[in-house]
Amino acid sequence: MFLRTITRNQNLMNVLIKLFLGVLLPLLIFGEIAEDLLEKERFAFETPFLLALHANATPATDRLALLISTVGGASIIAPVSLLILAVLWMYQRRSALFFGVAVAGAALMNLLLKFAFQRPRPELWPRLVHETDASFPSGHSMYSAAFVTAIILLLWHTRYRYLALVLGVFFSFSVGWSRLYLGVHYPTDVLCGWLAGFSWVMGTRLLIPRPPQESPVNSQLQDV
């Protein structure tokens, strides 16, 4: 009985830590920035930062940024997400439900946030890509963060968790860098995209926790 109580208290503490670090703290930072945007305040560092980034532009870096931006966009990452969802549905439907809500919910929330804030995109130099929707928050950054966080959580109990963590963080940061380099977002657009995507998926995981029994997919991964 005593050990059961300790275990229950430890589980509650773990949930509270995940709730604070994974959901509340990112949303608090997001809210502070969003409040300033609603009050039409400007962030003095953003324009000099983008201009400094653009000052080092080269044709090779242009091509790299365009490639990363394309890979991190809906035309690539959405079909990949559907493929992962289909595989998960075959083996572990609870994980499929989590992944579907995580990535689709992030995409839908991004559309709603863009509509709510209507922040104009930067117009600092002739851009290589043409974007017509609002700037805040960055859809590429938000969706890549949601996609990567969901994958990391799905693989966290396998031997591939650290590989997924390193590659996932590198990919998401690369996508954010590409959007800044191309001049289609302000730094706060990218930062808040990461924060919103991450917090959405962490909150989804708390509502749809990992199944008590390990899925065949995870078992196969651990046995490799």
Whether 11 contacts 210, CB under 8 Å? no
For residue 175, what are the domain limits? 2-223
Cα–Cα distance list, 144 to 89, 137, 173, 196 (Å): 21, 12, 9, 11
What domain count does the chain have? 1
pLDDT tens digits for 90-122?
999 999 999 999 999 999 999 999 999 999 999
Q: Where are the alpha helices (DSSP H) in the chain?
A: 2-19, 25-38, 46-55, 59-71, 74-91, 93-117, 139-155, 161-181, 187-207, 216-223
Q: Binning pLDDT at 50, 70 and 90, where does residue 9 land?
A: low
Which pLDDT score is estimated for 212? 66
Which pLDDT score is estimated for 40? 85
Which pLDDT score is estimated for 222? 46
Q: Is the pLDDT of residue 223 over 70?
A: no
Which pLDDT score is estimated for 224? 35
Which pLDDT score is estimated for 2? 43
pLDDT tens digits for 154-205?
999 999 999 999 999 999 999 999 999 999 999 999 999 999 999 999 999 9
From the CB of residue 145, how many other CB atoms can be counted at a distance below 10 Å? 30
Whether 161 contacts 210, CB under 8 Å? no
Which pLDDT score is estimated for 4? 53
